[in-house]
Chains A and B, each alone.
Chain A
Amino acid sequence: MKVLSKIQSPKSKIGTVLFFTASAIFVIFAAISTAGSSASDKLTVYVVNYPLKYFAERIAGDHAKVVFPAPADVDPAFWMPDTKTILEYQKADLILLNGAGYARWVNKVSLPRSKILNTSAKLKGRYITMDETITHSHGQGGEHAHENVAFTTWIDFTIAAKQAKSIADALGRKRSALRKTFQKNYKALEKDLLTLDQALVAIVSKDLSKSFIGSHPVYDYLARRYGLNIKSVHWEPDEAPGDAEWMELQTILKTHPAEWMIWEGNPMKKSVEILKSIGINSIVFDPCGNVPIEGDFLSVMLQNVENLKRAYR
């Protein structure tokens, strides 16, 4: 009875109410603060091309918001972001660059060095310098050239895997608690990339003497890694080549008897037909610099591999 009376005393009631109210407030605040911190924990990663976006998303999973702000209809290599977009890049936790001179706009804007990761910085020795460099001179600087380095590094899938590794390491440095998760995700991505690599090695090794024409000089890394014999012209898939372009092709064909032309995107029907009439078939190997209309990086590359298989049948 004494115990019951104690429990039911008004003082005790007030104490109990106060205790529960305080506990409830504490729980609510704790929940709010936890929710806030987990949201802010999500890394914001800005990238300069789609392959890097794909790699970062695969590695980071839900732990990062990966942003690639280039419009769908532009080539990100030659795109120039507006001021608003540059300021957004500046606020990111991590900015992923492709390196090899890709996205020249990077040299014309201010980005925080501490947040920049050049994913191919450790592979500088593997960069390919293109022959088509015109030097010029003016003023005190004397003769100089604007060096042209081939930048579609990721279509050599071994380089792509290394770029992905540097992304995984950088993400791990930013969120050390998630390092193991990032490395695990990277391993899965590396496996996919190296499977593609081996598939291409197997296909091309069937006939190393086969010659190709590249519709654009973007296949340097592909050619070097897999032993493809490619000479390039400067044709756009969605534009009909002019007389000068056809003449240029004829000149190349005299010393480089190719039976296949590799296109960056689906070519115009008319171009395909004219090429066919001179004994050149068309296949598409999309470097996938921008977000594909359908599928993702891996599915596009798998399709590329399938397309290339046609040339070796």
Chain B
Amino acid sequence: MIDSFYIAWRYVSFNKIKTLTLVACITLISFLPVALQLLLAESERQLISRAVSTPLVVGVKGSALDLVMNTLYFGDEVPELITMKASDRVMETDLALPIPVYVRFRARGYPIVGTTLDYFEFRGLKMAEGRQIAVLGDCVVGAKAAEQLGLKVGDSLVSSPETLFDLAGVYPLKMKVVGILEKTYTSDDLAVFADLKTTWVIQGLGHGHQDLTKLQDPTLVLKRTKDNVAATAKLYHFTEISEKNIDSFHFHGNTSIYPITAIIAVPHDAKSGTILQGRYLSKEETHQIAKPKEVIDGLLQNIFRIKNVLDAVILVVALATVMAIVLVFALSLRLRQREMQTIFKLGCSRMTVVQLVSSEILIIVLSSGLLCGAMVLLVDQFSNDLVRALFIR
């Protein structure tokens, strides 16, 4: 038997291209459905677990999927903005705790999630290092984001401009990393969290600058009247919030009309949740209240419908591949007629030929199995990230 294996091994080693092609075909055809299944299971886990743990999301009327994906998974698609009044409205009903969320800006490619401290308690987020956000300009970073950006407590993180060519726009804000969150294996791992007010500073709605009423440099003052001081563009705006300049930071106008992307509403009980949903049913209503679980269930149904089609395609391709492999072996045996005859002439039985061919097939199948196993392990290891990169963006 070992002799047969040795001869088979020598044969497959000699016919490298044929062997590699066969191994690649078998590997791919067995790897694809397993990997797809793994990724779908992981995406289902990620999507469902977060959706189930988020009772209600309030946002502007429109795509519920965009709203939920942005609020729960900090997706790229920013839904139309609503104002803090919507959050106050939920608060005033006394039916649910509103957690405003503003996911619009990014820092080195990672979403900046502007929210209140209630978000951390709601999601059960704990600090692995450092402390909670305390003042304007503080931020805490998700475990993976910190790892990938190489950030540690005390470092700085600069917000990215919304458009590259917005030269006259708002200055980026240099935030102070005050804490790093424990790993949660959710979207929170890949986010940068700041106070809602800090995101308004990033947007330019709040800012810090020299006291205009006390300006001495005439080049900084455009016009000064009894009731108004107009500054020139030379006026220096602080791009970092520190203990020294925090007093100069202020917000213009009424903060209740400041923007947010959504509100996570946490009802006090099931009945309160139902009553709250009822408040958003009128036709004139400009806001919608979505149940993330229902939205994600709908999304998953579509994904699984696509998965069924993919499964059918893979089955047909697998069948074709198996037939092709059989053909390859059949043709190969035909081409090796003279080789077989030599084996017979040497006094070997038909069984020896069967053993040789079986050994060749076994070597090819085993190699494919090993390769496929390694690839599956790799996918399993990175399924969390892959799902995030491929499905949840």
Q: For the complex, count residues of A whose C-beta is within 8 A of B.
A: 24
B134 and A90 contacting across the interface, CB-CB below 8 Å: yes
Question: What residues on A are CB-neighbors of B98 within 8 Å?
Answer: 113
| B331 within 8 A of partner (CB) | no
| Distance to closest chain B CB from A276 (angstroms) | 34
Question: What residues on B are CB-neighbors of A11 within 8 Å?
Answer: none
- Which of the residues B131, B136, B204, B233 comes within 8 Å of A109, measured between beta carbons? B136
B235 and A138 contacting across the interface, CB-CB below 8 Å: yes
B251 and A134 contacting across the interface, CB-CB below 8 Å: no
Q: For the complex, count residues of B whose C-beta is within 8 A of A.
A: 39
| Distance to closest chain A CB from B118 (angstroms) | 5
Q: A110-B116, A138-B212, A139-B207 are in contact. List 5 more A-B contacts (CB 8 A).
A: A83-B134, A112-B121, A113-B116, A136-B230, A138-B230
B residues apposed to A, CB below 8 Å? 91, 97-99, 116-118, 121, 131-136, 138, 195, 197, 204, 207, 209, 212-213, 227-233, 235, 237, 246-247, 249-253, 255
B229 and A136 contacting across the interface, CB-CB below 8 Å: yes
Nearest chain A residue, comparing its CB with the CB of B215: A136
A108 and B204 contacting across the interface, CB-CB below 8 Å: no
| Distance to closest chain B CB from A122 (angstroms) | 10
A139 and B237 contacting across the interface, CB-CB below 8 Å: yes
| Distance to closest chain B CB from A118 (angstroms) | 11
| Distance to closest chain B CB from A127 (angstroms) | 13
Nearest chain A residue, comparing its CB with the CB of B224: A136
- Which of the residues B99, B195, B231, B232 comes within 8 Å of A136, measured between beta carbons? B231
B197 and A108 contacting across the interface, CB-CB below 8 Å: yes
| Distance to closest chain A CB from B295 (angstroms) | 25
| Distance to closest chain A CB from B299 (angstroms) | 30
Question: What residues on A are CB-neighbors of B233 within 8 Å?
Answer: 138-139
Which residues of A in the span 90-117 have a Cβ within 8 Å of any Cβ on B?
90, 107-114
| Distance to closest chain A CB from B235 (angstroms) | 5
Tally of A-B residue pairs with Cβ under 8 A? 87
Q: Which of A141-149, A196-204, A216-224 lies at the binding interface?
A: A141-149
Given A110-B117, A112-B116, A113-B117: A138 touches B209 (CB 8 Å cut-off): yes
- Report the Cα distance A278→B133, complex, angstroms: 54
| A86 within 8 A of partner (CB) | yes
Nearest chain B residue, comparing its CB with the CB of A138: B231
A136 and B121 contacting across the interface, CB-CB below 8 Å: no
Question: What residues on B are CB-neighbors of A86 within 8 Å?
Answer: 134-135
| Distance to closest chain B CB from A251 (angstroms) | 16
| Distance to closest chain A CB from B93 (angstroms) | 14
A83 and B135 contacting across the interface, CB-CB below 8 Å: yes
- Which of the residues B118, B136, B252 comes within 8 Å of A141, measured between beta carbons? B252
- Report the Cα distance A109→B134, complex, angstroms: 5
| A255 within 8 A of partner (CB) | no
Given A108-B136, A108-B246, A134-B213: A90 touches B117 (CB 8 Å cut-off): yes
- Report the Cα distance A140→B205, complex, angstroms: 10
Nearest chain A residue, comparing its CB with the CB of B209: A138
- Which of the residues A90, A108, A140, A144 comes within 8 Å of B253, measured between beta carbons? A144
Question: What residues on A are CB-neighbors of B249 within 8 Å?
Answer: 108
A114 and B118 contacting across the interface, CB-CB below 8 Å: yes
- Which of the residues A108, A112, A138, A144 comes within 8 Å of B117, measured between beta carbons? A112
26 contacts between A and B (CB under 8 A): A83-B134, A87-B132, A87-B134, A90-B132, A90-B134, A108-B246, A109-B134, A109-B136, A110-B135, A112-B118, A112-B121, A113-B91, A113-B97, A113-B118, A135-B227, A135-B228, A135-B229, A136-B229, A137-B229, A138-B212, A138-B231, A138-B235, A139-B231, A141-B252, A144-B252, A146-B250
